[in-house]
Chain A
Amino acid sequence: MSTFATGFLKQARVMTADLRHRKIIRTALTNYEIVRDKRKGAFQSWESARSAAAETKWEAVNHLDKYLVEFVSKLEARGTKLHWASTGAQASEIILEIVREKNARSVIKSKSMTSEEVHLNDALEKAGLEVVESDLGEFIMQLRDEPPYHIVFPSMHLTRGEIKELFERELGDAPSDSPEELTMVARRALRKKYLTADIGFTGANFAIAETGMISITENEGNARLTAALPKTMVSLLGIEKVLPRLEDLALFLPMLATAGTGQALTCYNTMYGGPRQPGECDGPEEFHVILLDNRRTELLADAEQRDALHCIRCGACLNACPIFRNIGGHTYATTYSGPIGSVITPHLRGLQDWKHLSAASSLCGGCTEVCPVKIDLHHHLLHNRRNAAKEKPALIERSLYLIFGFVANRPALWSLGKKLGRLSQPLHNLVKGSALDPARSWTQTRDLPPLAQESFKDWWKKRNR
Chain B
Amino acid sequence: MKNEETVLSEREKILARVREALSVPAHVPGAHGLAPLAASAQSSAAGVRQWLPKVGNSFAEQLGLFQKNATELKTDFQLFDSAEEMRQALVRLRDAEGWKRVACHSGDLTNAICPPLNLPMLRTDKAYDVHEMEACDAGISECDALVAQTGSVLVTSRSAGGRALSVLPPHHVVIARREQLVADLPAAFALVKTKYAPDFPSMISFITGPSRTGDIERILVLGAHGPKRLTILVF
Contacts and interface: CB of A to CB of B under 8 A. Distances in A.
Given A42-B53, A44-B50, A219-B212, 15 more contacts: A54-B29, A59-B39, A83-B10, A84-B11, A137-B213, A179-B219, A187-B223, A221-B211, A228-B162, A268-B167, A282-B130, A282-B163, A283-B163, A303-B25, A304-B27
A94 B1 CA distance: 8
Interface stretch (B81-89, B113-121, B181-189): B181-189
Given A250-B52, A303-B26, A222 B158 contact: no
Interface stretch (A152-160, A413-421, A431-439): A152-160
B53 A134 contact: no
Interface string B205-233: 11111111111111101011111000000
A254 interface: yes
Interface of B: 1-2, 7, 10-11, 13-15, 17-22, 24-30, 36-37, 39-40, 42-45, 47-48, 50-54, 69, 105, 124-128, 130-131, 134, 150-152, 157-158, 161-164, 166-168, 184-186, 188-190, 192-193, 197-198, 200-219, 221, 223-227
B13 A86 contact: yes
A374 interface: yes
Contacts of A269: 205-206, 208
A154 B215 CA distance: 8
A199 to B, nearest CB: 15
Interface stretch (A119-127, A293-301, A338-346, A389-397): A293-301
B205 A224 contact: yes
Contacts of A101: 1
Interface stretch (A3-11, A62-70, A443-451): A62-70
Given A65-B18, A195-B130, A224 B167 contact: yes
A160 B216 contact: yes
Contacts of B189: 246-247, 249-250
Contact of A261 (B48, B203, B214): B214
A236 B210 CA distance: 27
A265 B152 contact: yes
A297 B14 contact: yes
Given A221-B211, A225-B164, A48 B51 contact: yes
27 contacts: A51-B30, A52-B42, A62-B36, A65-B15, A65-B18, A65-B22, A86-B10, A160-B216, A179-B216, A180-B221, A183-B223, A187-B224, A195-B134, A220-B211, A221-B167, A229-B168, A245-B43, A246-B189, A264-B69, A280-B162, A281-B105, A281-B128, A282-B130, A293-B14, A303-B25, A307-B26, A374-B29
A62 B197 CA distance: 27
A144 B209 CA distance: 30
Contacts of B210: 267
B40 A55 contact: yes
A156 B219 CA distance: 11
Most buried by A among B50, B130, B203, B225: B225
Given A246-B192, A307-B29, A271 B124 contact: no
Contact of A225 (B25, B125, B185, B225): B225
Most buried by B among A97, A134, A301: A301
B215 A280 contact: no
Given A250-B48, A254-B52, A239 B162 contact: no
Closest 7 CB pairs of A and B: A221-B226, A220-B224, A228-B163, A301-B21, A137-B215, A250-B185, A297-B17
Contacts of B162: 228, 280-283
Interface of A: 28, 31-32, 42-46, 48-49, 51-52, 54-56, 58-59, 61-65, 68-69, 72, 78, 82-86, 90, 94, 97-98, 101, 134-137, 140, 153-156, 158-160, 163, 179-180, 182-184, 186-187, 190-191, 195, 211, 213, 219-222, 224-225, 227-229, 239, 244-251, 253-254, 261, 263-277, 279-283, 287, 291, 293, 297-298, 300-301, 303-304, 306-307, 374
